[in-house]
Amino acid sequence: MGAFEYRQAEEIRDTFARHGVRYLFIGMSGAIILGFPDTTQDADLFPERTPANGRALVAGLRELGFSLTDTEAAEIERGKDFVQLKNGPFDLDLVFAPDGIERFEDAWQRRVIVEGFPVCHPDDIIASKVAANRIKDRESLGRLRSFRDYWVGKRKA
C-alpha cells in the first residue's frame, strides 16, 4: 500500500458527502490540510457518534472499498472510541473520542473548510495532541503552536 494521496482524500470527502457523514479531519492529517508543513503516515477522522452517522459512515467506508465484517461494521456504527482500519484502499483511523475535545458538536462549530474538507480548528488539533501526551507529538507541538499563530494571523489579514 502506498502513501495516502490527495485523490483518496477527495474520495472520502465526496463519498461521505453523498452519505451525509458528519466527520472532521483531525491530528496531523488535519493540520497538513490546514497548511502545516510536516509528514505523517495516515489519515485520522473524528466522526460524530450517533447511530445514524455510524450507519452512514459504514456505508461510505464500504463504498470506498473497506472490507468490513458485520461485527466490525457494528463496532463502527456503535462508535467505539478508537478504530484502526487497514482493510481498505488506504489506512484510516477513526477517533470517536479524541483526547482533549469534549464534544463533537463543539469541534464542528469551530471547524475549518479547506477545498471542501472539514477540518478541526488548529486549537482542537493542538488540544488533542497535548491531552494524548505522546512521545511522537512532543517534538512537533512547539512548531504546531507557532503554525497556529501564523494561520490565525493570516485569517485575520
The torsion angle over the Cα atoms of residues 144, 145, 149 and 151, rounded to 10 degrees, is 30
Q: What is the DSSP letter of 97?
A: S
Asked if residues 59 and 65 have their Cβ atoms less than 8 Å apart, the reply is: no
For residue 35, give the nearest of 152, 124, 129, 156 by alpha carbon: 152
Nearest-angstrom CA–CA distance, 14 and 126? 27
155 binds another protein (CB under 8 A): no
Among positions 44-63, residues that touch another protein (CB under 8 A) are none
Q: Which stretch binds another protein (CB under 8 A): 49-57, 102-110, 119-127, 136-144?
A: 136-144
Q: What dihedral angle (degrees, nearest 10) is formed by the CA atoms of 139, 140, 146, 151?
A: 180
Range in contact with another protein (rule: CB under 8 A) among 47-55, 56-64, 81-89, 104-112: 81-89
Nearer to another protein, 16 or 147 (CB): 147
Q: For another protein, which is the closer residue by CB, 22 or 129?
A: 129
| CA geometry: angle 115, 131, 22, nearest 5 deg | 35
Work out whether 87 is an interface residue with another protein (CB under 8 A). Answer: yes
- Give the residue, chosen from 39, 70, 113, 155, that forms a contact with another protein under the rule CB under 8 A: 39
- The reply on whether position 85 binds another protein by CB under 8 A is yes
Contact between 13 and 63 (Cβ < 8 Å): no
Q: Least distance from C-beta 91 to another protein, angstroms?
A: 8
User: Under the rule (CB under 8 A), what is the footprint of another protein?
Assistant: 1-6, 9, 29, 32-33, 35-42, 67-69, 72, 75-76, 80-87, 91, 95, 97-99, 114-115, 132-138, 143, 146-147, 149-154
